[in-house]
Structure 1
């Protein structure tokens, strides 16, 4: 047989080539493994978990009785029902603490690899730039989910340890069982996770603009703060519905009977728009970027 003849594809050679779909899942698994093995990741998750703990301990040790409307929403209900610890902690964490952690994770997605000099090695086949970009975003989205669940679970546990637990009175005046209130807590965690996905997309885009991860992290957090400042200025009321932070505190509608999902739907549509826009910008930037490190 001529040396130039085509070599037949045998079962051995066929299996030697990893399927593109399998390679994508392997890359995602590797990304999640690296992300959740970092000490920095767990330090941020522990910091998030400390929010309901500090809040509950402070209320438990306080000798002053809280009046309705004093402090963050639901705080005056904590002493009567420990399940409100998680709700109050979520309100406290959303404006700064959760966006700060998301900014760190999302800002580090691409810029962190470039800063370490490992980015070009991740782009070898069968990964590719588009697949790597998607995997990095999914990793940031996974962190959003874990962070909100960590806060919710810690709030429920510390609330049950320090305060009585019983049926929850909703904002509408109706009372629901403990089991249903825990389901509402998970629904609120899902709401907040969705709320942070737009910021994660912005952080991913910013991360493609620089090789300095600290700069990308800081810029993402600054964008979050600026959006919230703009959202409270009455002169810019026309802009408010378009800001990714506009519905962040809208989960109060999930504490009514019957459940009002209109804010959830509006929030999901808004975050989806930000994901599409900034995902496209990140794609345009990253696929044309010269990778030197």
Structure 2
């Protein structure tokens, strides 16, 4: 087939089909499919309906990041959608689009017709990759815009409580929401590259179509395990989690930047491998159904090597060791979030304003026993927060039970005293209101210990 390909590539320039024309043709083929149109419609409408409906319910998805704030601001809704999209929607969308880009021609047996029309495997690959990228970008844009519009219309353009309890003005919240959506484009492109690679190497096999979703599921399971920080940050899907660092003050950008760079490296590497394997495939075999050996030697082994190199590079550049969840970092994160949210509660109760500096909040945490080292993830963290109000001799204390996930996110559950954090409502001059200190989310920066 190599000779035939060369002959096609050097055919008369009068019949040459440009990449632009091939791209328009492939894009038209994609958007003319009913399932692609249905996906576009769903991505541009369903998030708005979902956010609007959930925001008006009495029960909120409090186990989802920012879900507990969906009654308070419209900017929490698109972040809840983003969490769901990174876990399920985007991997499935990339499977349907990129995972089927080349396999569809194998199923229909149309490679010969396409080669005769376009006269270049290189231009065919470029057109299919670009058209898949265009549709994926439209789907992501729809999810982001629809969720934001639905949230703002249903709840309003109100300030958003950040991950460490500080308030973000509506304009700042909007900017960070769309920046977070932009950041997850990198791991989405990595999954799309994996989809292209699977579609090229596995042909009509359903595994090619499912590959991005299976890889994403494997990465989610890996993120739930107590992996070393260097391994965690080297997975191409880590930016699906790391965007939450944008909502801390100061922003936790180190992990996010590493996650984006790693994902982009994977996107380039997988697309390049798919390109090389596509140019070497045999288009004369109408019954071609993928090559298992080529999938291993041209896909699995190079990507395994890339993962090993990435782990070594991240470990060397960051100096990160262990889980990254240390006692000092947990205590600092909890005290910071408590101080911010204490001000929110003070405003609700119409008490005299107090700043975080004057509160001097500190936290003391352990894992329930002096025999257990206070480090690593777990739901057995127990913390006592202490603060000092101006003009009051006695210090205030509050108890929290912490569930710290392996990725550094924690949920703090108040355990008294009742008037501070032991009940989900507080009595305000205008009636009962949600108690911001009862339960709240926080985040431990995994790379903080490596920076001293």
1:28, CA displacement in angstroms? Answer: 1.6
Matched with 1:13 is none
Matched with 2:265 is 273
1:37 partnered with 2:32: yes
1:269, CA displacement in angstroms? Answer: 1.6
1:134 partnered with 2:126: yes
The number of aligned residues is: 272
1:91 partnered with 2:86: no
- TM-score normalized by the length of structure 1: 0.82
Q: Given that residues 27 and 135 in structure 1 are in contact (C-alpha distance below 8 angstroms), is that contact kept between their aligned partners in structure 2?
A: yes
Matched with 1:58 is 54
Distance 1:257 1:38, change over 3 A: farther
Distance 1:31 1:261, change over 3 A: farther
1:254 partnered with 2:242: no
Structure with greater strand share of residues: 2
Structure with greater helix share of residues: 1
Question: What is the aligned-residue RMSD (CA, Å)?
Answer: 2.6
Alignment map for 1:141-290 (pairs within 5 Å): 141-212=133-204, 214-234=206-226, 239-257=231-249, 259-290=251-282
Q: 3-state SS of the aligned residue for 2:201?
A: coil
Cα distance in 2 for residues equivalent to 1:153 and 1:63: 25
Cα distance in 2 for residues equivalent to 1:257 and 1:19: 55
Cα distance in 2 for residues equivalent to 1:266 and 1:238: 10
Matched with 1:17 is 14
Distance 1:233 1:169, change over 3 A: closer
1:91, CA displacement in angstroms? Answer: 0.6
Matched with 2:369 is none
Cα distance in 1 for residues equivalent to 2:230 and 2:252: 24
Matched with 1:7 is none
1:233, CA displacement in angstroms? Answer: 1.7
Q: 3-state SS of the aligned residue for 1:276?
A: helix
1:155, CA displacement in angstroms? Answer: 1.0
Which region of structure 1 is more displaced relative to structure 2, 133-142 or 146-155? 133-142
1:277, CA displacement in angstroms? Answer: 2.4
Matched with 1:9 is none
Q: 3-state SS of the aligned residue for 2:87?
A: coil
Q: Given that residues 230 and 236 in structure 1 are in contact (C-alpha distance below 8 angstroms), is that contact kept between their aligned partners in structure 2?
A: no
Cα distance in 2 for residues equivalent to 1:139 and 1:154: 22
Distance 1:19 1:189, change over 3 A: farther
Which region of structure 1 is more displaced relative to structure 2, 229-238 or 182-191? 229-238
Cα distance in 1 for residues equivalent to 2:151 and 2:252: 26
Q: Deviation per CA, 1:109-159: give whole Å up to 9, x if none.
A: 111122112223223475522232232222222233222211111111211
Q: Deviation per CA, 1:24-66: give whole Å up to 9, x if none.
A: 1121222222222322112223444424522431341x334x5
Which region of structure 1 is more displaced relative to structure 2, 86-95 or 136-145? 136-145
Cα distance in 1 for residues equivalent to 2:33 and 2:152: 30
Cα distance in 2 for residues equivalent to 1:212 and 1:226: 23
1:170, CA displacement in angstroms? Answer: 2.9
1:168, CA displacement in angstroms? Answer: 3.0
Which of structures 1 and 2 has the bigger CA Rg? Answer: 2
List alignment gaps of at least 5 residues for structure 2.
1-12, 287-452
Which region of structure 1 is more displaced relative to structure 2, 26-35 or 235-244? 235-244
Cα distance in 1 for residues equivalent to 2:165 and 2:26: 45
1:115 partnered with 2:104: no
Q: Given that residues 27 and 127 in structure 1 are in contact (C-alpha distance below 8 angstroms), is that contact kept between their aligned partners in structure 2?
A: no
Q: 3-state SS of the aligned residue for 2:240?
A: coil
List alignment gaps of at least 5 residues for structure 1.
1-15
Q: Given that residues 244 and 270 in structure 1 are in contact (C-alpha distance below 8 angstroms), is that contact kept between their aligned partners in structure 2?
A: yes
Q: 3-state SS of the aligned residue for 2:239?
A: coil
Q: Given that residues 103 and 217 in structure 1 are in contact (C-alpha distance below 8 angstroms), is that contact kept between their aligned partners in structure 2?
A: yes
